[in-house]
Every structure is written in C-alpha cells, then in structure tokens.
Amino acid sequence: MEFSIEHELPGRLRLRCPKGSFTQKEGYVIGALLETQPGVVSVAASHRTGSLLIYYTGDVRFSILKAVGLLDRTFYGQIDGADLMPSKATLGGSMASLVGGVLGRSLLPRTLRYFFTFFRALPVLAKGIRSLWRRRGFNVSVLDASAVGVSMLRGDFRTAAVVTTLLTLGDLLESWTHKKSKESLSNSLALNIDKLWIRKDGEEVLIPLLELQVGDLVIVRSGGVIPVDGVVHEGEAMVNQATLTGESEPVRRTPNLSVYAGTVVEEGELLIRAAAFDRETRIHKIAEMIDESEALKADIQNRAEKMADAIVPYSFLLAGGVYLWTRDAMRATSALLVDYSCAIKLATPLTILSAMREGAKRGILIKGGKFLESLATAETVVFDKTGTLTVSKPKVAEIFAFGGFSREGVLRTAACLEEHFPHSIARAVVKQAEEENLSHREEHTAVEYAVAHGIASRLRGERVLIGSGHFVFDDEGVPCAVEQREIIERQSERYSMLYLAVGGALAGILCIEDPLREDALETMTRLRDEGISRVVMLTGDNFRAAESVAGKIGIDEVKSQLLPEDKTEMIRYLKRSGVKVIMVGDGINDSPALAASDVGITLRDGADIAQEVADIVLVKNHLYDIVHARRLGVGAMEKIRRSYAFIVGANSLLLALGLSGSISPAMSALLHNLATLGASVYSLTPILEQTREEPNFRDFCSR
C-alpha cells in the first residue's frame, strides 16, 4: 500500500494513503490486521481521507511501516469486513433497536415473554451482584437488581420488563451524553517535518530529522517552519510566533535571540543552532501539559449517580422496616419498586441531552454534561486577546500626514511600496487604498527591503522610506518634530505604527489596529449580568496593545507578554483559589490553558488543537454565544433541581400510598414509571426562550 507520513510523535503515527485506497469495510479489515502486530495498541482508518492513525508502544515503528507497506488490496479486499463494523453506531440506532425489541416481544406468547424478560434481566442482576461483592455496600446497581429480582420472584414479569427497559434506556442516554472521545491531542501539534537542511563543514546538507543533533546549524528560509528550539547563529528574519505567544504580528529575530519549534519564518533567512528538538521542544511540552490536564479532568464523578447511590440504603431500610412492622411482603416490595434512583438517573442525562441539542441548534457544541454544570457555577472568565477578542486581521485605523503631504498621498505612496511584500500589515495598507479607490502607479525605482525594518526606494528623484520607527528615525536619521512626536506617542498607546518618510522628512504615519470582534463589548456586559464577577485577559501581546483592548470592552484585569505555560499557571492559580474558571481562547498557545480550566471554550475558526482540547466550540464564531452557553448551563442545572424536587415529591407520595396498602405494588410500579416518564418529558423541554432575538451589536456598540 502506498502511504506517506503526515504526522508523527512518539507512540503515534498518522499515515496518509491516496484517496480511494480502501473502502469503509476494508478500513476495518486494515485496522484489525495492523492491531495483530506486536506493540500496536489501536488503529483508526478513515476511508474518506485515506488516513491511518496508529497508536503503539515500544520500538516497533519500523515494523509498523513495513507492515503497512506490505498490505495489498488483493489481500485485504478479499476479507469480509462486515463483522468488524459496529452494528449500532448512533444513539438513534440503539434506541430504535431497544424500542423495536420491546414491541416485538409484546407479540410473543406469554411463556416466551417471560423467558426473554429473564434473559434481558440477567445483565442487571449480574451487575448488582458484582457491585455488592466488590464495593461491599449498596448503590443504584444493587437497588436496580433487587427491584427486578423481587418482581421476578413474585411472578410480576411485566414490572420486571418495564424496569429493565427503563434502565437500559437510561444507560444508552447516559453513554451517548458522555461519549466524546478525542483523537490524540498531541497529534495536532506535530510539525510534519521529515527532513531538514543543516550547514555542515561550510556546505548545506539535507538530513532526516532523526539524525539531527544538539548544536547542529539548521537552515530555515522564508515560509519555513522552525523545527527546533534554539538560538539564531546568523541571519535576520521576521518570525510569526502566534503558535506560542499569540502575538498578532511577526517579531524580528537576529543573532543571539531565541526561536522556537513550530513558529514560522515569514521573511528572511535564519541559521539556527539547535538547542532542543523532538520531545524537548516547548511545543511538545504543551502536548504534555494538555495530557496531564485531561487526566485530571477524567476523575470528576457524576453528581446524579452519587445522589442516587446515597438514597439507595434508605430504600432498603424502608423496605426492611415495613416488612418487620407489617409482615406484608407486598407492601415491603413497594419500597423497592417505587424508588427515586431510576428517575434521578434519567433526569440528568436527558436534561443534558436536551441542553446539548439546544446548544447545537444555536451553534454551540458542548462536549459533555459536566461542562454545563461548570458553566452554571463559574465565577471567572479568562479571555485570550489575539484572535479571540480581536479578529486577528490588521487594518489601517487612522492616517496622519505631515510636511505638506495629504492623507491620500500618504496612503497612496505607502500602498505603492507595500504591495510588493505579502506580510499582513502590507496587505492591510494595500487593502485600505483599494477600499478608498486610490490608484498607485509604479513611479518609484526598484525597492530595497531591509528585513524586520522596512522598505527604501526612490520616488520622483527623492528617497522614500516606509517601516518601523527604529528604521526611519534611528537607522535612516529622519528628524521628528515635537508636534509630530506628541501625535506619535498619543497614537502608539492604541495602535501599531508604520512611518513614511520622503526626501529625508517625515511625511506621515499609518496607525494599524487588530480590530475587536463587534460583539466583544456586549458579551462582557451580558456576562456580568449573568453573574460572572471577574473577567481577566491573558495575552502574549505587549502591555500597551493589551491595555487598549481591555479599556474598550471594560476588562479591568490584564496580564500581558505571557507564554503558554504562564497562561496555564494563571488558570491553575485561579482554580486553587477556589473558583470555577472558564477559559476562552483560539490558538495552539491557548490549548494548555483551555485544558487546565474547568470549561475551555474556543471558536470554530480557531486552531485545530484548540477545538480538540476545548470543551465547548462556538461554531458561528460569535463571542456572544458564550452568554447563551452560560444560560444553557444555569438553565440545565435549575431544570435538574426542579426534576429532583418533582421526583422526590411524586415518589414519596407513591411510597406512602403503597405502604399504607391504598394501591398495589403493580399500580405503584405503573404510577412510578408514569412519574418517571413525566420527569423525562420535562427534561427534554427547551431551556432558552425560543423567541429570544440575537443582540444588535452595531446598535449596542454605538451607545
């Protein structure tokens, strides 16, 4: 089989085969064959993309690749993979099978119905016995088994069948609610680099990544991904570090400055002395932090199960007490048949299912019930800045002209020079000129580009410069008047600055901003209305840019110039103080913090790894959907509390009637099941108002 290595990390391989290499059934066969190889833990094959995701242990990488290469369609295509395919892949299919089975059995003769009821009850009875033996105590499983067992001993197979069906339905719903298995989180952080260029003995040599050694000089040119953590030995370049710091603009890297794996050289060329690679790089440590945080999250217990388990001993005590007092087995049985736990176990997953579906309709993908509870109780929301509160697309906000130049002249000249270079700020300048219908003919001579500084050329016989303040004022010696300096200082508190000089004089400045999302301000206001007491912004950007954004939307607490591990430590610090924390971010650099928080929220246009790690994904990319998510969480928890109150009240009344002999155990079971059904139907009702209109962001922001 033909394939290429798409991603690779220790213990994980993602291979890509040509499209159409195997069908869905053949994919199951390929996975089953590879899982027979020594060291292979699991294999996931996608026939749509031709992807093979392989998890393994030990030093078996070479043998796995060899085995994949030896796979031949003439072999695996002859094996029937139907038996390997999951028969019920969806909740709907499972429920349809359950309901169909109940209806089908109702048509069978009485003797056969009893036989099938006994056969279906065996797993419930076995689960209760195992639970009693292992835990040495009573829980919901023991009570379920007792209720079914007593009903069967009394010959009440109808009640036993109904209880068994309800229990099976509850297990299906609960399993579906929490079934959100994630692919390897670290896999999305793979650099996808098999070979790289190094300088050795004065020559450039292409070597496999596995042969790289600490101290080697790695060559990375424009557009290349830096494969190592290291220090710049030679060269100068603009490096996009958004994957690690979240900075919206590339930074200048020169000799003796550090660079990190996973960042991208946008312009220029670097010779980097490798200090760390593979598992030792900073980006790989992000993956480790994610795995650690996910393991901690997995220990959280379902509160509904605990509550149901806590009630169980009292049901047994009540049944025993009634029998000792009345010597009436029928009345004692009522205490087991009319229990609280069945309805409680159903109310929670059904409410969560309803909330998740309602969220999905609004473009809010919620990955599990525990995150709804955390949403409801959270007091603190932490935001990343770049790409989360802002749209991460620089634009020209203001233009100031000096020395007789017009605003249009400054923009036209700047666009004329910047159109030669593809970086984000240059694109913003050119786009602004296009929007204002300013044509910029090629009147200048050949451009000279100084990496990380700016552009120099000649226009109508005069030297023209555009770039950073360091380039224009320090390197080129362009003077700056006091009035001009005051304007620059005032504007630099809000914007990044681009300077244009013509003939040795400052001609103008272009103020560049990364605009806020239009719903950011109202989102902050509404979150506080919803009970959020603390809003924090964490960013890798500089302090001025961070303070400017925070001031516009009313965030009082700002932490700037943070690395991913700093953000994660801040989240952990907040959690140690005893508060529930919601983290909102969109980049790879935010992933550890998303994983460490009680609830991680990301946007649909965020990085793939952020979407994998996050507990909630905002599909429509609207920040305001955080408010809807909060309301869903609060509403779901309130609905569960009301359901509990109804369940306790209704079943207590039925218990009283059954123990007093006013109704028979069969009637108690029937009314109990009807009450459970009523609670279930209520749990599936909508939480949010269906007529609620989306906020008018433009009107709000203009207030």
* Active site residue ranges: 384
Rounded-to-integer distance, Cα 617 and Cα 614, Å = 7
Find the radius of gyration of the CA atoms of the chain: 32
Give me 144's structure tokens.
């379920």
Give the separation between CA 463 and CA 457, rounded to whole angstroms.
Answer: 6
Contact residues for 184 (Cβ-Cβ < 8 A; gap 6+): 9, 12, 53, 55
- 195 forms beta bridges with 208
**What Cα–Cα distance (Å) separates residue 500 from each residue in 489, 496, 615?**
16, 14, 46
Cα–Cα separations (whole angstroms), residue 267 to 418, 451, 454? 14, 7, 12
The two structure tokens encoding residue 380: 């603190």
C-beta neighbour count of 408 within 10 angstroms:
13
Among 46, 39, 37, 38, CA closest to 14: 46
CA distance 2 to 69: 7
C-alpha to C-alpha distance for 40 and 37, rounded to whole angstroms? 6
Beta-carbon contacts of residue 687 (< 8 Å; ≥ 6 apart): 354, 355, 358, 631, 632, 635, 636, 639
Q: Are 178 and 301 in contact (CB under 8 A)?
A: no
**CA atoms within a 13 Å half-sphere pointing along the CA-CB vector of 141:** 17
Angle between helices 110-135 and 91-106 (to 10 degrees): 130
* Other beta carbons less than 10 A from residue 100's beta carbon: 10
The Cα–Cα gap between 429 and 302 comes to 54
286 Cβ partners below 8 Å, 6+ apart? Answer: 189, 564, 588, 589, 591, 592
What's phi and psi for 127, nearest 5 deg? -65, -40
The secondary structure of residue 606, as a DSSP letter, is S
